[in-house]
Amino acid sequence: MIVQVRDTPLPQAGKAVGIQTIGMTMRFGGFTALDNVSIDVPAGTFHALLGENGAGKSTLVKCIMGFYHQTSGSLSVDGREVSVQSPRDAATYGLGMVYQQFTLVPSLTGAENLVINRTHVPAIINWAKERKDLAAFMERMPFKIPLDRPVSELAAGEKQKLEIVKQLYLGRSFLILDEPTSVLTPAEADEMLGLVRGMTERGELTVLMISHKFHEVTKFTDAVTVLRRGKMAGSGLVKDLTTKDMAAMMIGDVKLAELDTRLPVPADARPILVVSDIKAPDRTGLKMIDIGNLTVHAGEIVGIAGISGNGQKELAEVLAGQRPPDAGSITVKGALYGATRQETRINNVRFIPEEPLNNACAPKMTVTENLAFRTFDVKKEGGDALWLDMKSMRKRAASLISDFKVKTASHSSPIASLSGGNVQRAVLARELTGDVDLLIVSNPCFGLDFSAVAEIRARIMKARNAGTAVLLLSEDLDELLEMSDRIMVMSDGKLVYETPALSADISVIGAHMAGHH
Amino acid sequence: MTIEANIPTLPPLSAQSGNLRPILEWLARRAEPVAISLGAILTGLALFSIFITVVGKSPIDLFKLMYTGGFGSWFSIQNSLSRAAPLLLTALCVALPARLGLVIIGGEGAVVLGGVAAAAAALPLTGSVSPIIVLVVMAIAGMIMGGIWIGMVGVLRHYRGVNETIASLLMAYIAIALMNHFIEGPLRDPASLNKPSTTPLPAEYMLGSIPGMDVNWGLVIGILACIVSWILIEATSFGFAARIAGGNVRAAQIQGLPVGRLIVGFTALAGSFAGLAGMVEVAAVQGSANASLAAGYGYTGILVAFLARHNPLAIIPVAILLGGIDASGGLIQRRMGLPDATVLVLQGTLFVVILFCETFYGRFKIFNPDLWKRTA
C-alpha cells in the first residue's frame, strides 16, 4: 500500500476530520479489554471519553492510533473505512495524540522541538527560514508560546500547549488528548481548553479528550461517550446529561465511598508536628526552601497548596529524611525528629509519597514483600527481628489485600504489575494499618479514577477523625478544599498564606499560588 | 508489552484451577531464571561455534575437548573445582552489592590486597604458633583488608556520590600497584630473584587439601560463604532491608531504613569475601604473595555473578561450570592449536549474551503468571 504521508511542514489552515469506530473489540489472550465499542466523533466537535481506570479508554485510543490492532471492528475517517496499522498510518489520516506525560525534549527550544518532530527533517536545517515559517504558522494559532526558549524553562501549561501546537504543526486535524489538564493549574486548564474549544467551533480541529474531571467535560465538550469494563456504558450530548447521569454510567451500581462527617478539631488539640525555621536547598541547588513555622495538630488536616515546583517536594523530602536541612528543627510530639526508622516507629509517623510505585515501593518485589516493608524487622511480640517470618508476612499480606480490596493477580506478583489505583491501595494498606499519629501525604489521588479517589479520601478523613494529624501536600485545589481544615499556600519555597478551608477564597489562594502576595 | 493496567477485576478462578494455580505460579516464577540462563548459555555457545568455524576449526571437537578438559575425568573435575573455588568468593563480591543496586567490578583489588595482607600477617607468626592459628589470623587479615578496600567504594558511593563501578575498577589498579610496591619493596623475600614474592609460607602452614581430593579447602570455604550469603539475603531482616534499598532507594529512605549503613556493610562484607579469596590463593596455592595473585579471578567473578543473577546459591554451579571452561583452556591449546585466550572469547560472548537476555524477563507468558488466562 502506498501511503502518502500528510506531513507538510506548514499545513494549510486546518480542516477538521471526523472519525467513527464500528464494533471495536480488542482481546488480549482470554481477556476482553474492549468489547464491541462504536463511537462517533463528527468533524469539528469536542468529544469527551469518560471511564474509570481499566474501563478500556486507553485501549480504544491505542486501537484508533494504530498502537494495537483490534481483534475485530473497524475505523472510519470522514466516512471512509481505513486501515491503521501503525501510528504513522494514523498520521497519514491526520490523527494525532497528546499524551499525559510530556514528550518534548527539555533541553531544546520550542522551535527546535517542532522542527525535529517532522517525518522528513532535512540533513541541514535552514533555521532562518524555519523560524520565519514558524512565525507565520504561529500567527494562525490561538496559542501564544515563546518558541525561542528551552522547553525546560516553560511552565506546565505552556508545555501542554506546545504539545498541542506540535500536533497541529505536524498537520493533524483530529487530536486525542489524554487527561491533558492533570498537570495544569485550574486557570491554565481553563485557558487551554477554551482555546481548543475555539478551534473546534471554527471547524479547524476535532478533539477526543480522555478526562476524569466532570467540570471540564460539562464546560468545554459537546458530547460524551462513557466506557465501563470495556463496554459502552452510554453516550449523549453533554447538554442533555447531568454530572450525576455521567457518574452513574461510569461506575455502574457501585456505591462510592463517602467521607465521614468532619468532626470539629478540639480547641486544645495537641500539636503533633512542629516545623520551625527549616532551610534546605531545593533540587536545583540554586534556591532555598524556607519554612518559618508549620504546625499540625492532632485530628486536623493541614493542606499545602501550590503550583508544582515551588518547594512542596523538597518539604516532603525533608520531613521524610531524604533531604537533610541546613538549619531549623522538626519536632514530633515535642521531641526532635530525624526520620530514622526508630523515631518513625515510636511516634507512629507514616508517609504516603506521590507516585507510590516510584517512591514507596520496590517495583520488582512482590506484593507480599512490599506490604511487609514497615513490619519485617519487628517480632510479633515486639523487639527487633533478625530472621524473616515469611509465614506471618504472607498471612498479614493476605489480610491487608482483602481489607483494602487490592486487586492483584496473585500475592506473589511483582507490585509493578498492579494498576495505579491498586498500588496506591496497597501502600495505604501498609501505612494506614495500626495506630497513626502523624500522616504526611503527597498528591495521593494523582491519576486515579473516581472510586479509588473517593475511597482514598474517605480513608484519610477517617484517620483524621480518629485523631491523626494529617499534612496533605497537593496540587489539586479541589482536593485541598474538600479535605483540609486549614490551607497554606507554598510559593517560591515559602509558606506565604494561610486560611481556614471553610472560608477560603479560591481566587485569593490562586493569586498567592501565582506569586502575588 | 503488558496489559495489566487494563484488567478491571479478577474474576473468580474455577475451583479446580484454584488448587493448582498457586503451585503452577510458584513453578513458573522459579523456572524463569533457570530457563533464561540456560537459553543464554546455549545461545552464547552457538555464537562461539560460529567464531570457531570462522577460524577454521570444528566446534564439535572443541566442545568435546572442553568437556574432557573440564569434567571428563576425575583429574579434570578436580582441576575444575580448584579453579571454581576463588570464583565462588569473587562472585559474592559482585552479587552482594548487586542486591543493593550497586554494580561493583573491582573485586580483583580486594583479592590482591587481601592476599598481601594475609601473607604479611603470617610473617611474624610462622615458627612460633600453631598452623591453625596462623591460618585464622591470615584469613582475618585478608578479610579485613578486602572489607576496607571495597567498603571504601561503598563509603564513596553513599556519602560522596561517586559512581561505584568506576571507583571500584580504578581502585583495582591502585591495589595492584600497591601489591607490586610491597612485594618488590618492604615485604620482598631477598631469595625471590626472578619473581618478587613475600617470604614463602613453610609447607606445614599451608592450607591443605580436602581429604580424598586434590582440591584445597578453599572450595569448602567458598561454598560455605555462598550458603551464608544466601541465608543473609533471603532469610534475615538485614537482607530484606538491603533488597528494599536495592529495589528502590527512595522507598527505603521513606521507611527510615539506614541506607548508608546497609551500603557500607554490604560492600565491606563483599570485599571481605574477595579478600578471603586472596588469602586462600596465598595459603593454599602460591605459598606467598606475588604477582600471580592478579590472575583475573576478580573479573571472572563478575561473569559468574551475573550468570547466577546475583543469587548466592546459583553461584555454586555457575562457578564450577566457569571453572571447567577455564580448566579446559590448556587442553584446547595443546590439542587444537588454538591460543588459550580462546576460552576468554567464550567467556566474553557468554557475558554479552547474558546481559542481553536480562531484557527477556517477564516477556514469556509461560513464566509470567500475571499474563495468564483467567477463567471467568
Phi then psi for A469, rounded to 5 degrees?
-85, 130
Count of C-beta atoms within a 10 Å radius of residue A23: 12
3-class secondary-structure state, position A79: coil
Query: What value does the mean pLDDT take over residues A240-247?
Result: 84
Q: Does A336 touch chain B (CB under 8 A)?
A: no
Q: Which residues 135-164 in chain B show a CB within 8 A of chain A?
A: none
Encode chain B (376 residues) as per-residue pLDDT tens digits: 333 344 344 444 444 445 777 788 788 888 888 888 889 889 999 999 999 999 888 889 888 988 998 899 999 999 999 999 999 999 999 999 999 999 999 999 999 999 999 999 998 888 788 889 999 999 999 999 999 999 999 999 999 999 999 999 999 999 999 999 999 988 888 888 788 888 888 888 888 888 888 889 999 999 999 999 999 999 999 999 999 999 999 999 999 999 999 999 999 999 999 999 999 999 999 888 999 999 889 999 999 999 898 999 999 999 999 999 888 888 888 888 888 778 888 888 988 998 888 888 877 878 877 777 654 3
Domain A271-348+435-449+465-517's class?
alpha beta
Query: Cβ contact (<8 Å) for B370 and A372?
Result: no
* CB burial string B78-89: b at 16+ within 10 A, e below: bbbbbbbbbbbb
Angstrom distance (rounded) from CA A231 to CA A228: 5
Query: Cβ contact (<8 Å) for B9 and A418?
Result: no
Q: Which residue of A has its CA nearest to B370?
A: A409
Angstrom distance (rounded) from CA A298 to CA A276: 18
Q: Which of B305, B128, B300, B303 is nearest to B202 (CA)?
A: B128
Is residue A289 scored above 60 in pLDDT? yes
Angstrom distance (rounded) from CA A247 to CA B77: 71
Q: Does B6 touch chain A (CB under 8 A)?
A: yes
Contacts of B238 in chain A (CB under 8 A): 386
Contact A208, A176 (CB under 8 A): yes
Contacts of B256 in chain A (CB under 8 A): 321, 339-345
Query: What value does the mean pLDDT take over residues A164-185?
Result: 85
Q: Which residue of B has its CA nearest to A374?
A: B255
Residue A41 β-bridge partners: A19
Q: Does B366 touch chain A (CB under 8 A)?
A: no
Of chain A, the percentage scoring pLDDT greater than 70 comes to 95
Confidence category of residue A443, pLDDT binned at 50, 70, 90 = confident
Angstrom distance (rounded) from CA A437 to CA A348: 5
Q: Three-state secondary structure along A17-68?
A: CCEEEEEEEEEECCEEEEEEEEEEECCCCEEEEECCCCCCHHHHHHHHHCCC
Q: Which of B177, B275, B257, B266 is nearest to B229 (CA)?
A: B266
pLDDT at A141: 81
Phi then psi for A488, rounded to 5 degrees?
-120, 145
Q: Which residues 269-328 in chain A show a CB within 8 A of chain B?
A: 320-322
Angstrom distance (rounded) from CA B128 to CA B140: 18
Contacts of A412 in chain B (CB under 8 A): 25-26, 29
* Average per-residue pLDDT for chain A: 86
Query: Cβ contact (<8 Å) for B374 and A372?
Result: no
pLDDT at B18: 54
Asked if the ipTM is above 0.90, the reply is no
pLDDT at B2: 38
Is residue A251 scored above 80 in pLDDT? no
Angstrom distance (rounded) from CA A134 to CA A150: 16
Query: Cβ contact (<8 Å) for B8 and A55?
Result: yes
Contacts of B255 in chain A (CB under 8 A): 341, 344, 373-374
Taking one residue from A and the other from B, the number of pairs with CB-CB distance under 8 angstroms is 136
A45-64 tens-digit pLDDT: 999 998 876 788 888 999 99
Query: Cβ contact (<8 Å) for B250 and A418?
Result: no
Angstrom distance (rounded) from CA B181 to CA B176: 9
Query: What value does the mean pLDDT take over residues A120-134?
Result: 87
Residue B319 to residues A282, B100, B316, B324, B349: CA-CA distances in angstroms? 47, 22, 5, 8, 17
Query: Cβ contact (<8 Å) for B372 and A409?
Result: yes
A55–chain B nearest CA distance, Å? 7
Q: Does B73 touch chain A (CB under 8 A)?
A: no
Residue B195 to residues A14, B114, B174, B177, B188: CA-CA distances in angstroms? 82, 19, 20, 15, 10
Confidence category of residue A408, pLDDT binned at 50, 70, 90 = confident
C-alpha cell at B98: 548487586
A333-345 tens-digit pLDDT: 988 998 899 899 9
CA dihedral of residues A379, A382, A383, A384 (deg, nearest 10): 30
**Helices and strands of chain A, counted as H and E runs:** 17, 20
Contact A380, A392 (CB under 8 A): yes
Q: If you write DSSP's letter for every residue of B55-119 in order, what string do you get? A: TT--HHHHHHHHHHHHHSSHHHHHHHHHHHHHHHHHHHHHHHHHHTT-----HHHHHHHHHHHHH
pLDDT at B218: 93
Q: Does A438 touch chain B (CB under 8 A)?
A: no
Query: Cβ contact (<8 Å) for A410 and B237?
Result: no
Is residue A330 scored above 60 in pLDDT? yes
What is the crossing angle of helices B297-307 and B259-280, to 10°? 120
* CB burial string B334-354: b at 16+ within 10 A, e below: eebebeeebbbbbbebbbebb
Domain A19-101+172-250's class?
alpha beta
Q: Does B4 touch chain A (CB under 8 A)?
A: yes
A483-502 tens-digit pLDDT: 999 999 998 889 999 999 88
- Burial of residue B328 (CB within 10 Å: 0-12, 13-18, 19+) is buried
For chain A, residues classed under CATH 3.40.50.300 are 19-101+172-250, 271-348+435-449+465-517
pLDDT at A12: 40
B73-113 tens-digit pLDDT: 999 999 999 999 999 999 999 999 999 999 999 999 999 99
* CB burial string A223-245: b at 16+ within 10 A, e below: bbbbbbbbebbbbeebeebeeee
